[in-house]
């Protein structure tokens, strides 16, 4: 992560234009408002190259130090670049790791699967000093998919608030609910807590704007 310039922060504080608009991509994922800001990192996976060793981000614009790994299950990479685990009784487990340098404020993770589904209650986030369980899941898309009874394409999103936990690195883990799950794509967005001097700039800009308003 890089430091946000004070002049930019002043402009954002005075204009109120502190976030980017949300934009959906072909996996029905949605960009968090903080993506693209100087205090944010992004990692995206669309074509996996290995089921059992760390996959680096391959989507353009990825700038986070992060990896996606299948940690259990007899899986393989399909011709389209998905990680597929099946048939029964094989069940996959997965890990997404992020290494940062700044204290984390917010983590947003999105994943798309084909075939059968994940165990949505299994998702958790480890931040070194502890573990946060599954937050509220947001379903972004659901549609029937070829491949047999119950086969669907599903896109899901989870958001964790890490404010006050002093975490710089996190690992997200989750499991498939059954066999025949194909991991199609994933996005990871991480926003850092602004440095103290950054908060001072924001506060100063706010006070200056208030003083100007009072003098009107």
The segment with the largest mean pLDDT, out of 8-22, 39-53, 194-208, is: 39-53
Does 142 have pLDDT greater than 70? yes
Mean pLDDT of the chain: 83
If DSSP codes are grouped into helix, strand and coil, which group holds residue 195? coil
Does 61 have pLDDT greater than 90? yes
Rounded to 5 degrees, what angle do the CA atoms 102, 184, 108 make?
Answer: 25
pTM, to two decimals: 0.80
40 Cα distance to chain centroid: 11
Domain 23-194 grouped into CATH 2.60.120: yes
Q: What is the mean pLDDT of residues 93-104?
A: 97
| Helical segments of 77-158, H only | none
Helix axes 196-214, 6-15, angle to 10 degrees: 40
Q: Give 106 or 19, the one with higher predicted confidence.
A: 106
Q: Give 59 or 215, the one with higher predicted confidence.
A: 59
153 phi and psi angles, rounded to 5 deg: -105, 130
Long-range contacts of 204-211 (CB under 8 A, 24+ apart): 204/10, 205/9, 205/10, 205/13, 205/14, 206/13, 208/14, 209/13, 209/14
């Amino acid at each position: 992560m890089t430091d946000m310039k004070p002049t930019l922060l002043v402009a954002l504080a005075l204009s109120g234009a502190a976030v980017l608009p949300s934009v959906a991509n072909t996996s029905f994922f949605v960009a968090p408002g903080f993506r693209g800001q100087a205090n944010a990192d992004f990692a995206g996976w669309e074509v996996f190259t290995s089921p059992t060793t760390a996959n680096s981000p391959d989507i353009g614009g990825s700038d986070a130090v992060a990896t996606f790994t299948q940690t259990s299950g007899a899986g393989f990479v399909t011709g389209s670049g998905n990680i597929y685990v099946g048939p029964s009784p094989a069940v996959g487990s997965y890990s997404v790791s992020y290494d940062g340098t700044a204290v984390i404020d917010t983590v947003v993770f999105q994943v798309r699967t084909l075939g059968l589904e994940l165990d949505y209650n299994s998702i958790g986030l480890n931040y070194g000093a502890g573990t946060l369980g599954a937050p509220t899941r947001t379903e972004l898309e659901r549609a029937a998919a070829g491949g047999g009874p119950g086969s669907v394409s599903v896109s899901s999103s989870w958001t964790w608030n890490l404010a006050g936990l002093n975490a710089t690195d996190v690992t997200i883990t989750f499991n498939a609910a059954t066999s025949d799950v194909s991991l199609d794509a994933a996005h990871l967005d991480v926003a850092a807590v602004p440095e103290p001097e950054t908060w001072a700039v924001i506060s100063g800009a706010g006070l200056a704007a208030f003083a100007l308003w009072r003098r009107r």
